[in-house]
C-alpha cells in the first residue's frame, strides 16, 4: 500500500521528476501528462485517442503498459538521490479485458526503495462518466543509475 | 514444422495482416510487419525522435508495445477463423537501452493451446549495421473465438 512517510533524499525531487518527464518525447506524442506526484507515488494520465488503438478500437495494450511503467519509473525516481537517473529493468503486467474509457490513469506506488533497485506497483484505471475500473496491474523493478540524466547525452 | 504450428485458418495470413492494419497505434508509430509465418510474427520500427524517453533512447513503452504486438500476432497466426487475440499478461526484461536506427520485434509461439498461447518475443536494435538484443518478453495470449468483430 501507499507509504505516506516516504522521505525524498533530493530536495529538488519534484522539479527533477517533472523535468525528466517533459523530456520524454513519447509521452508528449501520446498526450500523456503527470496527473499527481508525491514522494514515492506518481500518476500519469492519457486521454483516449483514436490513433492509439488496437484492432478493435480499444486503447492499445502498449499504451496502457507504457503509462504504467512510466508512472512506476517516476514514483521510484522521486525517492532517488540528486545526480542519478532511473532505468526500467523489468516488469510483469496483467491486462484485464479491453475497456473503453475517456481517459486512462496509471498510478505507480513504491513498494521498496533500495539503494540500487526499487520495486514499484502500478495500477491503470479507465475512467468514463465519473466511473473508474481497473484495466491493468504491474509489478516493476527500477534501477538507480549513478549517471545523471545529462550524462546520458540526452 | 512442428504439428502444433499448423494454422487452423486457411486465410490466417490475410486475417493477421488485416488485424495489424487496423491497429491505429502501430500506424501512428510507423511499425510494419517484416516477416510472418505460422507461429511467428516479426515487426520492424524505424527510429523516430518523437518516440523517446528522457535520454533520447526509444521509450521502453514503445519497445514493449512492439514486442507485445509481435507476440499477439504470432499467436493469432494459429488461431481459428473468426477468433480475436487478447494479451492476458507478459513479463519483459529491458536488457539494454533501445539505441539504434531501427528495431525488430520477433514473436515466436512456444505453445499454442486452444484458449491460451505462450509466446516469446525478442526485440533487437540495429546500430551501425550491428543487431543487438534490447528486450526479451514472455507473454500469454488468449483466443477469443467468434469475437473478432466486437467493437467498442
In this predicted model, what pLDDT tens digit does every residue of B38-81 receive, in sequence order? Answer: 999 999 999 999 999 999 999 999 999 999 999 999 999 999 99
Using DSSP, how many helices (H) and how many strands (E) does chain B show? 3, 6
Q: Look at residue A62 and tell me if it is in a domain.
A: yes
- Angle formed at CA A75 by CA A74 and CA A79, multiple of 5 degrees: 100
Output the pLDDT for position B5.
83
Number of domains in chain A: 1
Q: In this predicted structure, which of A3-17, A30-44, A131-145 has the lowest mean pLDDT? A: A3-17
With an 8 Å Cβ cutoff, are A98 and B22 in contact?
Answer: no
Quick one: three-class SS letters along B31-67? CEEEEEECCEEEEEEECCHHHECCCCCECHHHHHHHH
Q: What is the CATH number of the domain that holds A116?
A: 3.10.129.10
Helix (H) or strand (E) holding A39: none
Taking CB atoms and an 8 Å cutoff, what residues of chain B touch A124?
none
Is a pLDDT exceeding 50 seen at residue A1? no
Supply A149's cell numbers: 540524466
Q: Look at residue A19 and tell me if it is in a domain.
A: yes
Question: Smallest Cβ distance to A52: which of B28, B52, B151?
Answer: B28
Chain A, window 114-143: residues with a beta carbon less than 8 angstroms from a chain B beta carbon: none
Q: Look at residue A21 and tell me if it is in a domain.
A: yes
Q: Look at residue A100 and tell me if it is in a domain.
A: yes
Tell whether A17 lies on the interface with B, counting CB pairs under 8 A: no
Q: How far apart are CA B29 and CA A26, in angstroms?
A: 10
Closest Cα in chain B to A153? B55
Confidence band of B150 (pLDDT split at 50, 70, 90): very low
Is a pLDDT exceeding 90 seen at residue A105? yes
8 Å CB contact between B115 and B7: no
Q: Look at residue A151 and tell me if it is in a domain.
A: no
Is a pLDDT exceeding 50 seen at residue A154? no
Output the pLDDT for position B147.
61
Tell whether B142 lies on the interface with A, counting CB pairs under 8 A: no
With an 8 Å Cβ cutoff, are A98 and B24 in contact?
Answer: no
Q: Look at residue A139 and tell me if it is in a domain.
A: yes
Supply A9's cell numbers: 533524499
Confidence band of A5 (pLDDT split at 50, 70, 90): low
Helix (H) or strand (E) holding B72: helix B60-76
Q: Look at residue A5 and tell me if it is in a domain.
A: no
Sheet holding B116-127, edge to edge: A33-38, A41-47, A103-113, A117-128, A131-145, A85-95, B84-94, B130-144, B116-127, B102-112, B40-46, B32-37
Question: Smallest Cβ distance to B68: which of A56, A57, A62?
Answer: A62
Output the pLDDT for position A150.
72
Helix (H) or strand (E) holding A25: helix A25-30
Q: In this predicted structure, which of A13-17, A46-50, B4-8 has the lowest mean pLDDT? A: B4-8
With an 8 Å Cβ cutoff, are A66 and B150 in contact?
Answer: no
What is the extent of the structural domain holding A116? 13-146
With an 8 Å Cβ cutoff, are B91 and A26 in contact?
Answer: no
Q: Look at residue A154 and tell me if it is in a domain.
A: no
Q: What percent of chain B has pLDDT over 70?
A: 93
Is a pLDDT exceeding 70 seen at residue A58? yes
Amino acid at each position: 500500500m501507499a507509504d505516506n512517510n516516504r522521505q525524498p533524499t533530493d530536495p529538488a525531487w519534484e522539479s527533477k521528476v517533472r523535468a525528466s518527464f517533459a523530456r520524454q518525447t513519447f509521452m508528449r506524442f501520446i498526450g500523456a501528462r503527470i496527473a499527481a506526484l508525491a514522494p514515492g507515488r506518481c500518476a500519469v494520465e492519457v486521454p483516449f485517442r483514436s490513433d492509439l488503438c488496437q484492432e478493435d478500437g480499444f486503447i492499445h495494450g502498449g499504451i496502457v503498459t507504457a503509462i504504467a511503467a512510466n508512472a512506476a519509473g517516476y514514483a521510484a525516481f522521486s525517492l532517488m538521490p540528486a545526480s542519478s537517473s532511473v532505468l526500467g529493468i523489468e516488469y510483469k503486467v496483467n491486462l484485464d479485458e479491453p475497456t473503453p474509457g475517456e481517459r486512462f490513469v496509471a498510478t505507480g506506488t513504491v513498494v521498496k526503495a533500495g539503494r540500487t533497485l526499487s520495486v514499484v506497483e502500478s495500477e491503470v484505471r479507465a475512467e468514463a462518466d465519473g466511473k473508474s475500473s481497473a484495466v491493468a496491474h504491474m509489478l516493476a523493478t527500477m534501477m538507480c543509475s549513478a549517471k545523471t540524466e545529462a550524462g546520458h547525452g540526452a | 514444422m512442428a504439428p502444433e504450428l499448423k494454422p487452423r485458418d486457411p486465410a490466417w495470413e490475410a486475417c493477421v495482416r488485416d488485424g495489424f492494419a487496423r491497429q491505429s497505434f502501430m500506424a501512428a508509430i510507423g511499425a510494419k510487419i517484416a516477416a510472418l509465418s505460422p507461429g511467428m510474427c516479426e515487426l520492424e520500427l524505424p527510429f523516430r525522435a518523437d518516440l523517446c524517453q528522457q535520454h533520447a533512447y526509444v521509450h521502453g513503452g514503445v519497445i514493449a508495445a512492439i514486442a507485445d504486438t509481435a507476440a499477439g500476432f504470432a499467436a493469432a497466426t494459429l488461431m481459428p477463423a473468426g477468433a480475436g487475440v487478447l494479451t492476458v499478461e507478459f513479463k519483459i526484461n529491458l536488457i539494454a537501452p533501445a539505441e539504434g536506427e531501427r528495431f525488430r520485434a520477433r514473436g515466436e509461439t512456444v505453445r499454442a493451446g486452444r484458449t491460451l498461447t505462450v509466446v516469446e518475443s525478442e526485440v533487437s536494435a540495429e546500430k551501425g549495421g550491428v543487431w543487438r538484443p534490447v528486450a526479451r518478453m514472455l507473454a500469454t495470449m488468449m483466443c477469443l473465438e467468434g469475437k473478432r468483430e466486437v467493437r467498442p
